[in-house]
Amino acid sequence: MIELELLGPRAHGEALGQAQLKATAEDFQVDEVLDIPLAGEGEHLWLWVEKRELNTEEAARRIARAAGVPLRVVSYAGLKDRQALTRQWFSLHLPGKADPDLSAAENANLRILKSERHKRKLQRGAHSANGFTLRLTRLAADRQALDVRLKRLAEAGVPNYFGLQRFGHGGGNVVDARDFAERKELPVQRNLRSRLLSAGRSFLFNRVLAERVAAGTWNQAQVGDLLAFTDSRSFFAAGEAECVDPRLAQLDLHPTGPLWGAGPSPAAGGTQALEHGVAQAEQALCHWLAEAGLAHERRILRLPIGGLTWHYPEPDVLQLEFVLPAGCFATAVVRELVDLLPAGQTENPCAF
């Protein structure tokens, strides 16, 4: 599968040039934003962990081994990239136990920065946002054009596409999801099942969003839309009054797209027709997701970029800093700026 099939058209014009992302782990830094005051006591030990070139599940296994506890008692709020420098929270359920010696978990790839007790475990999705520091290296693009585009992104947001990493190498996760859907089967292995269901849902959402971007309506409320606030999982129907709500222009309120599950889309009018058309083209996949027990949910189509700043520490390096809601992809921002060079490419054919 090619990128355009998995994602969709850009909203702010063609790429302005090329650059490399993730030449080193430090080029892609993520800090989890978790607005939960810790009690300082309780059965759960919370850990603030820095990891480099290590995914979240691998880090959880390493912590469990060092603590001498089953993996199931280790919790985390969200999955973070492997090829990155990330800082995120984990928790261990340790009823009646002292804090374990976790030094065996630490090495050059994992450091425990602090620990504190709390009365509850860390729940999935508990973090409100992620802060990003990205370095685009070997940059070949006009700086003035980049500055104009970045100001536009800060004002208007970007399409909230799921990133390519959700779909596996070459879109393999979507291929596998379709295969299971056609056979009306679910993977037995829990992690694989979760990954393929997520990939299938994400692919369908991106198809709807791509249609809205092509039509120029991804950032506009229409009668029949379902609207949601940036940090809310609830949604409500848009009538004529809701379509002129000033919070839409303030990037606080957004139209949404479907995360497929049981039942028809609760949207109406043209929005329902568009979503139905996507579902008709992928009937087996939609039915498979519903039969897996997933409920119909919504995701905002427009991604607001919090606190976006940038500078050029070197002539061919652009550093970006911004905050995105949990579950959203930094690559959706980068994609509206430049094309990314394939890993390992040593020459940039584009010069400005």
Clarify whether 81 is annotated catalytic.
yes
- Torsion angles phi and psi, residue 210, rounded to 5: -60, -40
Q: How far is CA 191 from its chain centroid?
A: 18
SS3 state of residue 299: strand
CB under 8 Å to 231, separation ≥6 — which residues?
Answer: 128, 325
Q: How many Å apart are CA 34 and CA 204, to the nearest integer?
A: 29
* Candidates 27, 31, 81, 225; catalytic one: 81
The answer to whether 35 touches 128, Cβ cutoff 8 Å, is yes
- Torsion angles phi and psi, residue 317, rounded to 5: -130, 130
- For the chain, state the CA radius of gyration: 21
CB under 8 Å to 286, separation ≥6 — which residues?
Answer: 204, 260, 279
The answer to whether 94 touches 43, Cβ cutoff 8 Å, is yes
Q: Amino acid identity of 61?
A: R
* Residue closest to 116 by CA, chosen among 44, 63, 64: 44
Active site residues: 81
